[in-house]
Structure 1
């Protein structure tokens, strides 16, 4: 027997041994497949049960989407410009004396509200009063002299020139008296207008001069507001424009009216200065406070205004969804003025349309909806 024959016999023996070892397992596997327990049966079972699971998880067919709608109406719309400004006093002045002297009386308390003409302070005027008394004596003498000269002139006992000298002397004394009375009047300081006295910077007995600051008098009713707007709105603003504003520390919205417009544009800032007035009977508007202002440029009474969230942006523009016969329709619109919450619809909507305001993400054109709330 050669080597090739021996190798063939050895390979055959090994193959027979392997077959005898795996025969029981192959027989068992064949029985399982015939009984439907193999991978194929499992795949078929899984494929049969999957549609049932999906059907249980998905929404029921034909159920209408719940939405909220609003009935479109024409409303008042204000075109506004947002800016900032400062509260200023209606009237404000530093109380100062026109003459120098020692203070002999202070007749106000800090924080008091005073009426126009009320005496606030007196300065020593003893020397002026003495001069006035002397002039009054000279006045009496000059009047008697002028009277005698007049009678003599009527009798032609003196010349007219002599009479005119006595008359001029009397008139000079009278003028000196009036000048002295004016000086005395300056020693009494009076309130130039109704207002509130601020802090006092002198004391009784102080020597003051025209440069001495005594106190500040402020009138805040009505209050004024200074604010600026860009130059491009110069042709739009005018006297009478309404404003709405809030101040720091208060959420209350107040109103005012523009009463003065600067007739030129500031070349440094390219802005125009405006001044408005607002009632302040409760004196809660304090000069110097910061204000957020909405300047009403124009008002329209027939504008269609909808919530901002009801408008859906597209590549070609904007659209809204309306309900007609319980079905959704997509309507392209043209928008106008925007505010923080609303947007004006210039084209696309009509009064009486039912506009979808919530649930917009769940609807599509042609789908049925159930209206759960009408605004």
Structure 2
């Protein structure tokens, strides 16, 4: 090939390579995200305090000495389980006496009835014997009722607190002996402004978090709404119930509460995909069937939550929008789609994958 012609050829080839390089560099690289249909709700935030579903302090009703203690600190006990027994020897002896008198009067009634059948005893004597027998039986019932005060039973299943008493100690009426809390279900009390009265109702779902368990969320629902509004704070009390199968929650804990009001299904996109212009909002829609052509489209948004935004109008479920690279894309551009971010694939993973391909 003559030298001048070869020079023109190389110059033209270099020009073509430069043009191709510029064109390649001018194609925007973006990351997309699908518009998805997801559960959504408007949150009401509050602070609440936990209470046990059932909570009591067992105490004595008489003055006596402790004979038995049948529980340990923090033990899980069952309903009807004997926790504390007081000395009842004297009462047991009185009960045996009353039972003996009952048996004697029952035998006397049997003899009098037999004599009455043979017309050897007056009817009045039989009736008097029956009355004395009923009196003895009533005395036994009274003694048994008093004996129940010597036995402290768990009225429901739950967890006992610390044991601060010992066998042989003298207890008096009203003296606190042990606490008992039912912890499998917890009551969460919190206050919300009265302006939310029209949207609150039993059954609304809520979530609660505690500083004691970072990263862990407890689920529950509203059980009761207070009947009065505080005239000073203009708020009303709400009680919710939380399931506590792992017994993590304890009465008195402070909880951060988020009530999910107006639950609904709505279109959701990443908040990073929004392009605000005054009071209007736009997104860049990627048309995959047209070689990833960009369309700039106005949307009407609703509520926001960290990282996401609700779209009321302007986009349909399944459409692909630009979530990263918005500033480098224009309507009509054909973009290079680096990947689609989702719950399974994060933006960081897509960028690291791109970096790995570049290194290789």
The question of a shared fold, defined as TM-score above 0.5 by the shorter chain, is answered with yes
Counterpart pick for 1:147 among 84, 90, 110 = 110
1:121 Cα offset (Å)? 1.2
After TM superposition, give the deviation of residue 167 of structure 1 in Å: 2.1
RMSD between aligned alpha carbons?
2.6
d(CA) in 2 for partners of 1:102 and 1:202?
11
Q: Given the alignment, which residue of 316, 319, 324 partners 1:353? A: 319
**CA offset digits 1:202-260 (Å, max 9, x no partner):** 22111112311111112211333223333233333333222222222211123223333
- Unaligned runs of 5+ residues in structure 2 are 1-20, 342-360
Unaligned runs of 5+ in 1: 1-58
- Pick aligned residue for 2:296 from 324, 330, 339: 330
The structure having more radius of gyration, on CA atoms, is: 1
- The answer for the alignment partner of 2:328 in structure 1 is 362
- Give the one of 245, 248, 252 matched to 1:284: 248
**1:218 aligned onto 2:184:** no
Q: In terms of mean alpha carbon deviation, does 357-366 or 344-353 score higher?
A: 357-366
> Mapping of 1:102-181 within 5 angstroms?
102-154=65-117, 160-181=123-144
1:309 aligns with 2:272: yes
Q: Distance in 2 between matches of 1:211 and 1:133?
A: 29
* TM-aligned CA deviation for residue 335 of structure 1: 1.0
Distance 1:266 1:168 in 2: 60
Report if the CA contact (8 A) 1:248-1:289 is conserved.
Answer: no
CA distance in 1, matches of 2:139, 2:231: 52
- Higher percent of residues as strand: 2
What is the TM-score when the length of structure 1 is the normalising length? 0.75
Alpha-carbon spacing, 1:352–1:165, altered in 2? closer, same or farther (3 Å): closer
Moved more, 162-171 or 121-130: 162-171
How many equivalent residue pairs? Answer: 316
1:339 aligned partner: 305
Q: Quote the residue 1:36 is aligned against.
A: none
Q: Distance in 1 between matches of 2:119 and 2:325?
A: 115
Q: Scaled by the length of structure 2, what TM-score is found?
A: 0.78
